[in-house]
Structure formats: C-alpha cells, structure tokens
Amino acid sequence: MKVAVICGGNSSEREVSIITGNAVYNGLLKNFEAECIVCDTAKDCINKVLKSNASVVFVALHGGFGENGQIQATFESLGIKYTGCSFSESNIAMNKFATKSILKSMNIPTSPFKLVRSLEELQQVDFYPICLKPNAEGSSVDVNFADTREQATTIAEKLLNKYGEILVEKKLNGKELTVGILFGKPLEVIEIRPKKGFYDYKNKYTQGATDYIVPAPLPENITNLTKQIAKRAFYAIGCKGYARVDMILEGNVPYVLEINTIPGMTPTSLLPKAAQASGITFEELVKLIVEGAC
C-alpha cells in the first residue's frame, strides 16, 4: 500500500508543516511505500495526490486549507482516504470562537471569551487581563496579552487590520498542559514549561527554549480530570483519529484553550512525546494513524 504524505501549503505554518511531513514520511518507510509531496495550494495538492496513485493520504498540512477542512472536503468528494479529522470537525477546530462556543455549551471548562470584529466591540469586553489572538491561526501566531483597555486597543487595531476578526479571552495563569488523543484514548499529560515568556511561536520551535515534562507531575486526581476533560473536548466537536487538546491548569481546573486536529508530528513534537511515554514508538504511531484512515 502506498501512502502520500502532503505538507507545505501557503499558511504561516508552511515551514513547520514541511518538517512534519518529512518526519512522517521517514517514519512510514518501515511499513509502507511512501511519497512526500510538498505542495503550495489546495489545487496543487490535489493534482499531485491524484498523480501519486496513493491508497491513502497522510495530511501533514498545518493551518490554512490543510487544517480548516477544505482539503478534507475535497478528498471526501473524490473518495480519497486520508488521515485525521474530517471536514466538519477540522472546520470547527480551526475557528477558535466556534470551538469555545461548543465547549461552553457542553459545560467543558474554557475561559470567558468574545469574538471581536471592531474596536467598538472590544469596548464591551469586561474581563481583564486578556489574551488577543487571530480567530483562525495556529502555532501561537500573533498571540498578544493586554492588562488594560488602552493596551488592548493598540494591539487589537493592528490585529483587526491584518485578520478582520480576533478572539479575545480572559488570560489564565497556571500550568500549560497538553493531552494527545489517539482514537479516543488520552495519552500521557505533558506539562509545557517555556524558559521565558509563554509558549509562543519562538518557544515552540527554538531548540532548548522550552522544557517538556511527561508525564506531567500532577496529583493522580488532577491527571485523571485533565485526561477526562481533554477526551470530552475531543468528542465535543466530533473528532476522529487523533488530535491534541491544549489546556491551562488554574486552581486545579483544566481549562481548554483549543483543539489541534493536525498537531506537529516530528519525533520531538508533543503528540509523539506523549505516545512514546505511553509505549508507542514514532513508527508505530504513524502506522496506527494510517491504518485508522483505512
């Protein structure tokens, strides 16, 4: 069976996607015939996949058309098997406001939030300090914090000019945690400890900038609660296959920040780290994901 690994794309996460794609490709070679396809646009991806005559596609695209459901919908219409979440949950997860709205409706802990499309709407926010971020970007791109309305206005003006809409949520203070979910089963909880600041793009992709503790040093009851909430969040938006749920532990309550339907998949990425701690090698992990897609 041949597996086509698609990566690249045209989002702000293109470089990270190519790293993921190459790692997945190398991990698959032990068990499958594989081809790594670096593409630029959705049309480019589809054309190259059709030419590859692959039996299944491993989606290693981060952000943009690769993670918002567009490529998934196209594969579904063409009858092409692919890894990870389908169109609907991919589309929801990429929209932070939609995700948090569903979580709130199901009583899954998440911080207070508001979708803001103008500076006038920002004035309605009554919870500070706040976090301001694009509503549909990944890898902590353009995430900012503000303690006052004056600071928030300056930041929001720039973000609104660039993105058109932003998500504003109450800033949480606590341990940064993440839980990988593999076919409905929570893996080991990871605590993320940036050496400076918060877990932004630089701290995510600069070697040595962040420490990762797995399993996270938490009381057993908090570990179990964190896994339970991550699993509930996974199913709340209808996820299939695998995903990663990012959380903040504040006052012994794990608050869900967002759900990543295509998390990083290099051998040193968070989901593979959690799988390794659960006794699953990287080669076994990518094999399981492909088999699940079939």
Where in the sequence numbering do the catalytic residues fall?
13, 139, 205, 244, 246, 258, 260, 264
* Alpha carbons 91 and 136: distance in angstroms, whole number: 10
The alpha helices in the chain, defined as continuous H runs, are: 14-28, 42-52, 64-67, 70-78, 87-94, 96-105, 119-122, 149-163, 201-205, 220-236, 270-277, 282-293
By the 10 Å C-beta count (0-12 exposed, 13-18 middle, 19+ buried), 201 is classed as middle
Question: One-letter amino acid identity for 217?
Answer: P
Is residue 125 within 8 A of residue 113, CB to CB? The reply is: no
> Cβ neighbours of residue 37 under 8 Å, at least 6 residues apart?
4, 5, 6, 7, 21, 45, 48, 49, 52
Q: How many CA atoms are closer than 13 Å to the CA of 24, on its beta-carbon side?
A: 32
